[in-house]
Structure 1
Amino acid sequence: MSEQAVGKGRSDDDPRNTAVLILAAIREAHAHLSKLLRLARTEIRGNLHALAALVLLFGGALLLTGASLVLLLIALRDALAVLIGNDTLAALIVALPFVIAAVVLLVWAQRVWSRPSVED
C-alpha cells in the first residue's frame, strides 16, 4: 500500500483538533438538552391541564349525582306522604334503610376495631 492510501484513513489530517470537536459536541448536547427540556415542560403542562379538567369534570358529575339522589329521596318522601297522608311517617320510611345501613356499618366497624392485635 502506498503512503497516501494509508494517510487517508488517519484522523491526523483533520484540521479540527480534539478540543474543538469536544466543544462542538458539548454545544450540540446543550442545544439538544434545552429542546428536550422545553418539550418536556410543554408535555407536562398539557398533562396537568388535562388532569385538572378531568378532576373538575368528575367533581361536577359527583356533585350533580349527589344532588339528583337528594331530589329523588325528597320526591320519594313526598310521594309516600301523599299516599300515607302523614309527612313524618313518610320521612321515617324513607330514612329507615339509611338508618339500618348506618347501624350495620357501626356494628361491623366496632367488631373490626375491637379485635386484639397480634404483638410480637
Structure 2
Amino acid sequence: MVEETRVSERSARSARPDQDPRTTAVLMLAAVREAGAHLGNLLRLSRVEIRGNLRALARLVTLFGGVLLLVLAALVLLLFALRDALAALIGQDGPAALIVALPFLVAAAILTFLGVRRMSPRSPEA
C-alpha cells in the first residue's frame, strides 16, 4: 500500500513541479480520490437541481392547464352569448345555433378531408 506524504500549501507553491516529493502513484491516488469526491458533489448538486426543475415544471403545467380550462370555458360562454344574440335578432333559436356552429362544421370538414387524404395509401404527402 502506498502512503501519501502531506506537503503544506506553502511548500507546494514554492516547489517546482519536478521537485514534488510525492510519487506518481500517490499523485494518481489523490487525483482519483478528488475526482470521486467531485463526482459525488456533482451528482448531489444535479439531484437538487432536477428536483427544483421538476417542481417548477409541475407548477408551470398546472398554471397553463388552468389557463387553458378558463379560456375554453370563456369561449363556450362567448359562443352561447353569440347564439342568444343572433336568436334575439332573427327570432328563432335553431337558425341562430346553425349560424354559430357553421364555421366549426366547415373547419371540421376541411380537417377531416385533409386527414383522410393524408392517410390514404397512395398519398404523395406521406
Q: TM-score range by the shorter chain?
A: 0.7 to 0.9
Report the CA distance between 1:22 and its aligned residue.
Answer: 4.1
Q: Does 1:105 align with 2:111?
A: yes
Q: Secondary structure at the match of 1:54?
A: helix
Structure 2: which amino acid aligns with 1:37? L
1:72 to 67, 78, 98: 78
Q: Which protein has the larger Cα radius of gyration, Structure 1 or Structure 2? A: 1
Indicate if the aligned counterparts of 2:83 and 2:93 stay in contact, CA closer than 8 A. yes
RMSD: 2.5
Alpha-carbon distance in structure 1 between the residues aligned to 2:114 and 2:84: 33
Count, aligned residues? 109
Q: Which consecutive residues of structure 2, in runs of 5 or more, have no partner in the other structure?
A: 1-14
Alpha-carbon distance in structure 1 between the residues aligned to 2:113 and 2:123: 18
Identical counterparts, % of pairs: 64
Q: TM-score, normalised by structure 2?
A: 0.70
Partner of 1:36: 42
Q: Secondary structure at the match of 1:25?
A: helix
Alpha-carbon distance in structure 1 between the residues aligned to 2:24 and 2:110: 79
Structure 2: which amino acid aligns with 1:36? L
Alpha-carbon distance in structure 2 between the residues aligned to 1:19 and 1:25: 10
Whose RCO is larger (CA < 8 A, sep 6+)? 2
2:88 to 74, 78, 82: 82
Alpha-carbon distance in structure 1 between the residues aligned to 2:37 and 2:114: 62
Higher helix share: 1
Q: Which consecutive residues of structure 1, in runs of 5 or more, have no partner in the other structure?
A: 1-7
Partner of 2:6: none
